Amino acid sequence: MTVTRAELPPTILPELLEQADAMRAFRRDIHAHPELCFEEERTADLIAHTLRNWGIEVHTGLGKTGVVGVIKGRPGKRAIGLRADMDALPMTEHNSFAHASRHQGRMHACGHDGHTAMLMAAAQHLAASRNFDGTVYVVFQPAEEGGGGAREMIRDGLFTRFPMDAIFGMHNWPGMAVGEFAIKSGPCFASSNEFLITIRGKGCHGAMPHLGVDPVPIACQLVQSFQTILTRNMRPIETGVISVTMIEAGEATNVIPESVTMQGTVRTFTTDTLDLIENRMREMTQHVCAAFGATADFEFSRNYPPTINHPAETAFARQVMCEVAGADKVREFEPTMGAEDFSYFLQAQPGAYFVIGNGDGTHRESGHGLGPCMLHNPSYDFNDELIPLGATLWVKLAQRWLAQG
């Protein structure tokens, strides 16, 4: 079967439509064999083996399991990087169709199997045609889901071994129509940070609270106080999220506990805002606990920085999207407080990150789960109709970028 759905634009390269069935099978094979962060051994081997069969120079082992393909066209000084993530999530799939996960507790619920397939389809076309000036690096990154695979690939020399003028990334976006793209200059994904607070009081009998220092109401006070950072310390036009998501204390109903642990997440679009939140949370924890006669340990971990698109590269990608899909199908991306480790690449190199519509879930085959087709949902599945469309965008983006001279 060849993909010819009416909602796909006529600008899709015919060669990519012809290989759509093969790339769908490739994607579904990866979906059936999901691998978690830094464990993508089978996936990386499959990618490397397939790229080599297409005559592409392959380098492995960056960021432990990352793969880089080097595709050279006509002589030229410019180079571009195109990135896809490979890892799955530690969750159990609820779908029962033929390509559902064969490994309990592991699932491609974020579409990284589809991201890989789109980039592989583009790589095959670019290697076959070589119709461009310069070099295209296809970057298959491990461990986006919490492992910081982008950071690890950089540490292993991604940009020194494979110097590129810019790097671009693409993610599928459920709820946005098939055939549509969205992009935004500046911050588009938030930073991801975690905190762990241990409040130490003095345990006692639950019927004699005056003999102890109860850490539970102190924790309750802090949960409420943290929100005033957002409403009274930050400028109203700035954005931030402080969510206390875990509170643990006590072992018996008649015992006031010795301690309480609080954990949660903080999200911001700027480092300045993050600095403010971290400092104020630390100060509040220390002083509120002191006011009640308790002490506290405060730990704050900065995970992924905000994903901030570069203006020139964003404008360039938008122009290519309009060429491929039509201007009426290219939207302004609404920033999300979710996080993405492509941010590390954008800190090191110019580039942009954007999304491609995955549809409303009606593409799923019989046997899908009863839940919605949303990211990180056990009933999710990538829309295979996107593969030739996303691959066409990758090919056009590379060709246009390298043609700038």
The CATH number of whichever domain residue 239 belongs to comes to: 3.30.70.360
Predicted TM-score of the model (pTM): 0.93
- Report pLDDT for 368: 86
313 and 276 within one domain: no
- Secondary structure letter of residue 278 according to DSSP: H
Are residue 140 and residue 81 in the same domain, yes or no? yes
Quote the pLDDT of residue 2.
37
Do 324 and 293 share a structural domain? no
Domain boundary, last residue among 277, 304, 331: 304
Q: What share of the chain is helix, strand, coil (3-state, %, to 5)?
A: 35, 25, 35
**163: in domain:** yes
Q: Is pLDDT at 295 greater than 90 in this prediction?
A: yes
Alpha helices in 293-405 (DSSP H): 311-325, 342-348, 386-402
Six-digit token string for 308:
């901030």
- Please state the rounded mean pLDDT for residues 380-394: 97
In terms of domains, do 207 and 138 share one?
no
Listed residues 254, 271, 304: the one ending a domain: 304
Question: CA-to-CA distance for 49 and 289, rounded, in angstroms?
Answer: 58
What is the arithmetic mean of pLDDT over 159-187? Answer: 97
Higher pLDDT, 87 or 369: 87
The residue out of 248, 271, 304 marking a domain boundary is 304
| Spatial separation of the C-alpha atoms in residues 363 and 378, rounded to whole Å | 16
In a domain? residue 290: yes
Same domain, 49 and 158: yes
The reply to whether 343 and 293 lie within a common domain is no
Give me the pLDDT at residue 4, please: 44
Q: Which has the closest alpha carbon to 344: 187, 193, 149, 211?
A: 149
On whether both 35 and 127 belong to a single domain, the answer is yes
Q: Are residues 91 and 219 in the same domain?
A: no
Quote the CA–CA distance of 358 and 364 in Å, as a whole number. 11
Residue with tokens 């100060």: 283
Domain that holds residue 109: 14-189+306-402
Query: How do residues 312-344 score in pLDDT, each as one tens digit?
Result: 999 999 999 999 999 999 999 999 999 999 999
In the chain, how many H helices and how many E strands?
11, 16
The answer to whether residues 39 and 185 belong to one domain is: yes
Predicted pLDDT of residue 7 = 63
Q: How far is CA 171 from CA 329, 343, 344, in A?
A: 16, 13, 16
Residues 60 and 117 in one domain: yes
Q: Are 31 and 72 found together in one domain?
A: yes
Buried b (16+ CB within 10 A) or exposed e, 80-91: bbbbbbbbbbeb
Query: Contact 54/122 with Cβ under 8 angstroms?
Result: no
Residue of 230, 296, 233 lying closest to 266 (CA atoms): 230
For range 281-299, the mean pLDDT: 98
What pLDDT is attached to residue 6? Answer: 52
The structural domain count of the chain equals 2
The yes-or-no verdict on residue 171 having pLDDT over 60 is yes
Please name the residue ranges forming H helices in 233-374.
271-292, 311-325, 342-348
